[in-house]
Amino acid sequence: MKKIFITGGAGYVGSKLVPKLISLGHQVTVLDLMIYGENVLDNHQNLIKIKGDIRDIDLLEKILPGHNVLIHLACISNDPSFELNPTLGKSINLDAFEPLVKKSIKNNINHFIYASSSSVYGIKKEKNVTEDMTLEPLTDYSKFKGDCEKILNNYSSDDFITTTIRPSTVCGYAKRQRLDLVVNILTNHAYHNREIKVFGGDQLRPNVHIDDMVDSYIALLNAEPKIINKEIFNVGFKNQSVNELAFDVKSVIGEDVKIINTKSNDNRSYHVSSQKIKEVLGFETKKSVRDAVVDLKNAFEKKLLTNTFNNEYFFNIKRMNSIKLK
């Protein structure tokens, strides 16, 4: 049993990760701004929920003691949300990072897991984009992710195990749902409008089912410290074009769904290799994009997700605009 501190634990991935950790017998503390609601996480005797800000150093000093693992998920997610308020994005995604690392060391955290992003690579021509390649981020969001990786690496020691994970774009159903990510967007439009608009289509987009994303964190928690210290792992299902993703969605939702292709000025392609995490930890993704679409379809049919185009809780930018997060 581990005592795990999770920043951003009431977010999209956190809303699936936290219940899984509790089911495995771990004690979990979540620090989150809770801007998507405090009911995302069900109450449990092994869960402590704290509404607060990772930039609050005094708060961190009070609540970090007693934990031995920290999973850092909190951030202003993805480029559009970051660009909405770059100053806010920098303060949370970069400026708050090193103080959190220092407080973790001071309070005897012995394993720090950082959620970076596969976008740190930028555009690569190589077929297999591996963890040892140079980072060529295209945006400040991605640049700051890479900067934080370097900061964390500098503090690594035998007593402070550090691991960075570079997820692909997550897809699928969660209690704190996001409908502003590519597969989820396509599925929402296909199910409700029976139509998908694809901008471009040949661009590659690596995705990962949210259940596999959760399991990758579990794999890190169960790993021998010496084989994951100062290591970086890509996590993804496979690299598919947006056209292929659209056809996967159509195959699940219904053959009546129309796919409309339009030109795009954004032809960036991203592709990553997840071979390293398989070789080092024996971890492989088990679920496909189609599985994620099936899960979302079921959620729509059961009315677990309603008002899916206008509910601000499903869209990071809409929600951030609404509450004027600072």
Q: What is the mean pLDDT of the chain?
A: 95
Q: pLDDT band for 326, please (50, 70, 90 cuts).
A: confident
The residue that leads in pLDDT, 320 or 300, is: 300
- Taking only the tens place, the pLDDT of each residue in 61-87 is 999 999 999 999 999 987 677 788 889
Q: CA angle 301-302-306, nearest 5°?
A: 80
Looking at residue 163, what is its pLDDT? 98
pTM of the model: 0.96
Cα–Cα distance, 53 to 128 (Å, whole number): 38
Contact 237, 288 (CB under 8 A): yes
17: CATH: 3.40.50.720
Q: Residue written as tokens 């035998």?
A: 158
Q: What is the pLDDT of residues 207-246, one digit of tens each?
A: 999 999 999 999 999 999 999 999 999 999 989 999 999 9
Give the count of domains, the chain.
1
Read out DSSP for 14-52? Answer: HHHHHHHHHHTT-EEEEEE--TT-GGGS---TTEEEEE-
**pLDDT score of 231:** 98
pLDDT band at 184 (very low <50, low <70, confident <90, very high): very high
Of 138, 267, 153, 277, which is closest to residue 219 (Cα–Cα)? 277
φ and ψ at 200, to 5 degrees?
80, -115
- Structural domain of residue 171, as residue ranges? 3-323
Report whether pLDDT(266) > 90.
Answer: no
